[in-house]
Amino acid sequence: MNKLNIQEIKTRIEQTFPELVVGWASDTGIPSIYSKRLCRVIAYTYHGKWILKSEISEYSNHIAAIINLLEQWDGKKEN
Q: Cβ contacts of residue 63 below 8 Å, gap of 6+?
A: 56, 57
Tell me 76's DSSP state.
P
pLDDT of residue 65: 87
In degrees rounded to 5, what are phi and psi of residue 30? -80, 125
In a domain, 78, yes or no: no
For residue range 13-25, list pLDDT tens digits in order.
Answer: 999 999 999 998 8
In a domain, 33, yes or no: yes
In a domain, 64, yes or no: yes
Q: Are 66 and 57 in contact (CB under 8 A)?
A: no
- Write down the pTM of the prediction: 0.85
For residue range 10-62, list pLDDT tens digits in order.
Answer: 999 999 999 999 998 888 888 999 999 999 999 999 988 999 999 888 888 88
- For the chain, how many structural domains are there in total? 1
